[in-house]
Amino acid sequence: MTRLVAAWLTPALLLGVPSALIAEGRDGLWVALLFVIAPLVAASTAVSRRAAWPEAGRRTFPLVAMLLVVGLLLWANLSLAGDVASWMGQPRWRGILPAVVALAGLLWPRAARAWRWLVPAGLLALVLPVAVVVHASHTDPIATWSQVASQPAFRFGAGSPWVTEGRALGLRSRPQALSFEEEHRVTPLDPGPVRVEVRDQGRLQVQEWTLAPGQSVTLRPGDRLQVDHEMRLKFEANKRVPGAPLSGIAWADTSPFPRGVMLIRLLGLALTLAGGAVGLVGFAAPTAPTRASVGLAGLVLLVSLGWAECWAIYAARWAPELFVGGVSAAALVELPALLLRPSPWGSRLAGVGLAGLAALFLAASVALREQLAMAEGEEGGPLESDAGLWGGVFAVTALAALWPVEPWSLVLTALGLGASTVAPLIFLGMPTGRPAAAACAVGVGLALFLGLTALGRLGVQGGSVGQTLLTYPALVATPVAGSILWVAHRLLR
Amino acid sequence: MSGGLLGLGLILAGLVALFLAPWGLGAIRIGGIGLAWWYGGVVGPVLGLIVTLACLPARPDDSDRSQ
């Protein structure tokens, strides 16, 4: 259970909780609740299904699926490290390289055995900035939530860096557009063309200007500013933040999705996160978890959730500019610096938080490595024999992370892959005497998941329901893989 | 399905019910915070841990720390 929680507290997943709460408001609560419930589902499954594991864990196909899950989670975190470097105005490799060097250090067995101390140290380093922020703001989290939920609009503060000095947009690999709800003068700080989508009498037009340094463009309500390359922009103080919810009530109490689509999204997220957690336990649970280990792990999860909720509430209240261009996990790291400006302690606390995330990343990486080694049946001495494999995994994921990919989408892909391949085997068990059926179920789950993910990445449009299925491919792949296993079990009776 | 898994499923269903409840039930303020936020952010996770602990079978050997 300790390993599962350490793997679960991987920064890309942990930061996904405050990101979802800020970006989606009420709907983000689903991610917050699942963040605690999903590992508990895995713990409960470990109790009831462990008899099926020892044989299954030594099959090649499920182990390959598990290696893919672990590799994708590492990729997500290294991509986050690259995003943080970009956010700080540095090239991506400046964030990725130190993380890979630290990971390589953990290939040394003596260092790897001390990883359990990294979890409490990392959590402490994360909680400290929140405690200072709460103290400095003179409002408790409940009062701050009430203030956010009752404000008529999310507006730029006069001292916001987006207003005083300008900030870069365009972290993401896909082009994005900023929607404006009221007249807003925007000043690009870099030379280059500025494209604006304008609706004129129901017709959509794209207007393009090339502005001299210092010139600005005025956008009207309904206009959209296209951001297809990295662009530094200055905004106006006291104007609505583009991309933010219409009001505090809209953020706290409503969902932008119709009921049917919302239900499919909730189901997709639940299946992905809970199935992914079960997949992370994988076949590495020869004994059931004890009450003490589950209780301790649960407390760690609750503390982490409390941290994520405070982080989100104070960000929505005091740094609404984080909504610009969509909430990114990397930008959240800067929160203490934004809240405590102009004090230099803000940046220092942001650094402490970053160190905490680094500690959690290292702990998660070793936990994932041990988890995979245990699944291979190498309990007790896994850390010397697989250094070559892990060196290769670090190198491949580090290279992949040079290309900016949203860390949360990689986390969903990793967990969805686990839910589509490993989780059905654990829930339904290996069909004894029919190893081909298990291989077939894992293979079909893998193929369906990867195929639907590829369609989603290629931008295939399929209506709102189809789009949700492409976002959460486990909704299709898991039931199909489970059905194959169920039929195999029935035929054996 | 074990009791723990059933309990955790019901806790998740509780938040879905609050999202879909009529008359903005989830938006009712209790102590300054919306009911859905209390449930999804505080009560549900704590309840989940309690349910999981309550449904874990007692083990004679509680000294195994490998999990």
CB atoms within 10 A of CB A260: 11
pLDDT of residue A170: 59
What's the predicted TM-score (pTM) here?
0.91
**Which A positions 257-286 lie with beta carbon below 8 A of chain B?**
259, 262-263, 266, 270, 285
Strands A176-179, A167-169: pairing kind: unpaired
CB A141 within 8 A of CB A134: yes
Q: What pLDDT is recorded for position B63?
A: 46
Interface of B with A (CB under 8 A): 2, 4-5, 8, 11-12, 15-16, 19-20, 24, 26-27, 29, 31-34, 36-37, 40-41, 44-46, 48-49, 52-53, 55-59, 62, 64-67
CA distance A55 to A430: 8
Q: Which pLDDT score, from 0 to 100, does residue A384 have? A: 57
Angstrom distances, CA of residue A193 to CA of A215, A490, B51: 12, 64, 58
What is this model's ipTM? 0.90
CA dihedral A465, A471, A477, A478 (to 10 degrees): -100
The domains of chain A, with CATH numbers, are 2-142+247-492 (1.10.4160), 161-234 (2.60.120)
- Over residues B22-54, the pLDDT tens digits come to 888 999 999 989 999 999 999 999 999 999 999
A290 in contact with chain B, both atoms CB, cutoff 8 A: yes
Per-residue pLDDT in tens (0 to 9) along chain A, 493 residues:
778 888 899 999 999 999 999 999 999 999 999 999 999 998 888 776 654 554 554 566 777 888 889 999 999 999 999 999 988 888 999 999 988 888 888 777 777 677 778 899 999 999 999 999 999 988 999 999 999 999 999 999 888 888 988 887 755 556 678 888 889 998 888 877 888 888 777 788 888 888 777 788 888 888 888 877 777 889 999 999 988 999 999 999 988 888 888 999 999 999 999 999 998 876 655 566 788 888 999 999 999 999 999 999 999 999 998 898 788 888 898 889 888 887 888 889 999 999 999 999 999 988 888 877 776 665 544 455 677 788 888 889 999 999 988 999 999 999 999 999 988 888 887 777 777 788 888 889 999 999 999 988 887 777 788 888 888 999 999 999 999 988 888 876 6
What is the length of chain B? 67
Distance separating alpha carbons of residues A484 and A471, to the nearest angstrom: 23
